């Protein structure tokens, strides 16, 4: 059996288990049906299936386990559901890219600049093994790059950009560095002890994006969207704290977030389809921005 057939068989197994848990017989019957449909031989023995499970874990970091209560195989997402979902998204993208040469007239990928992902693997290893790292960093607000040496603590994604969360060795403050502005990464031989009180999820719990004000408290923000925009907000919430207060002619939601520049820009991106109800300080800020914008015309 060719490598191509093996990869496509892995794809079929994952596709089947994403729909619903299945016994080996159900998986076998599904592979037999696809074999007849596509003109390939995807049928396997139970022993080969166990090897496939190991290969899928190794290649795609997707765990397939046997659920004794349901007497069926399923994709394990109990431990890290967010990571598992992103792995499946990556798998979907991989398959789309794999087909794009044959279906290029039907698939149009967004043209985007690099996101600094070439440093993801090295940084993940440094975080896992607790090694300090050094690099040059170029802020958007500055014309020159600076040398940094940090204790890497976590990686965070926001709006298709990746960021390194780290303790700066210079002042021992937690800072966030965009990977697309980071260069000349060196993993040092010096190991560090992670701050015992640092929890990346808790640190960003009330953040929209990657900015976390040090001396401010998160605020309760109430937003009202028109009915059409409200459908988008329901299917892709602005923040994990989003709570629906009203769902009728308008969608009214409440969030508990830091009111940062990132959050203000997000509100502005919805134009006249959103109205800020509370707090009054945010109402005044948004109104002031619109008044200043009108002066440009």
Using CA atoms, how far residue 214 sits from 140, 207, 222, 264, 292, in Å, is 21, 12, 23, 18, 28
8-state DSSP, 210: S
pLDDT of the residue at 164 = 93
CB 260 within 8 A of CB 213: yes
Residue by residue, DSSP assigns 81-134 as: HHHHHHHHHHHHHHHHHHHTTTSTTT--PPP----SGGGHHHHHHHHHHTEEEE
CB 106 within 8 A of CB 54: no
CA-to-CA distance for 6 and 15, rounded, in angstroms? 14
Q: Is the peptide bond before 279 cis (omega within 30 degrees of 0)?
A: yes
Per residue of the chain (297 residues), what is the pLDDT tens digit?
567 778 888 888 988 888 889 999 999 999 998 888 878 888 899 999 999 999 888 877 788 999 999 999 998 865 555 655 666 666 666 666 565 555 556 666 666 655 677 888 889 889 988 999 999 998 887 778 899 999 999 998 888 788 999 999 998 889 999 998 898 999 998 999 877 778 888 889 999 988 898 888 999 999 999 999 999 999 999 999 999 999 999 999 999 999 999 999 999 999 999 999 999 999 999 999 999 999 988
Here the tokens at position 138 are 């170029």
- CA terminus-to-terminus distance, the chain: 66
Q: The pTM is what?
A: 0.67
């Amino acid at each position: 059996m060719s490598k191509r057939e093996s990869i496509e068989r892995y794809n079929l197994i994952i596709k089947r288990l994403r729909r619903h848990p299945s016994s080996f017989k159900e998986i076998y019957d599904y592979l037999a049906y696809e074999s007849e449909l596509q003109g390939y031989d995807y049928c396997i023995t139970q022993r080969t299936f166990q090897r496939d499970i190991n290969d899928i874990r190794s290649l795609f970091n997707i765990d397939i386990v046997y659920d004794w209560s349901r007497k069926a195989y399923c994709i394990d997402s109990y431990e890290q559901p967010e990571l598992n979902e992103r792995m499946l998204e990556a798998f979907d993208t991989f398959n789309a890219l794999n087909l794009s040469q044959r279906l290029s007239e039907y698939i149009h990928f967004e043209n985007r600049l690099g996101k600094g992902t070439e440093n993801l693997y090295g940084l993940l290893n440094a975080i896992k093994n607790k090694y300090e790292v050094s690099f040059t960093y170029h802020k958007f607000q500055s014309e020159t790059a600076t040398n940094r040496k940090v204790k890497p603590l976590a990686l965070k994604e926001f709006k298709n950009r990746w960021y390194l969360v780290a303790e700066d060795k210079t002042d021992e403050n937690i800072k966030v560095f965009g990977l697309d502005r980071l260069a000349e990464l060196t993993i040092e031989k010096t190991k560090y002890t992670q701050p015992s009180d640092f929890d990346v999820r808790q640190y960003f719990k009330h953040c929209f994006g990657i900015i976390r004000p040090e001396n401010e408290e998160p605020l309760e923000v109430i937003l009202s969207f028109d009915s059409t925009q409200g459908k988008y907000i329901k299917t892709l919430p602005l923040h994990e704290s989003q709570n629906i207060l009203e769902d009728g002619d308008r969608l009214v939601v409440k969030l508990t977030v830091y009111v940062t520049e990132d959050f203000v820009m997000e509100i502005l991106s919805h134009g006249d389809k959103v109205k800020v109800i509370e707090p009054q300080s945010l109402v005044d800020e948004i109104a002031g921005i619109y008044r200043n914008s009108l002066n440009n015309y």
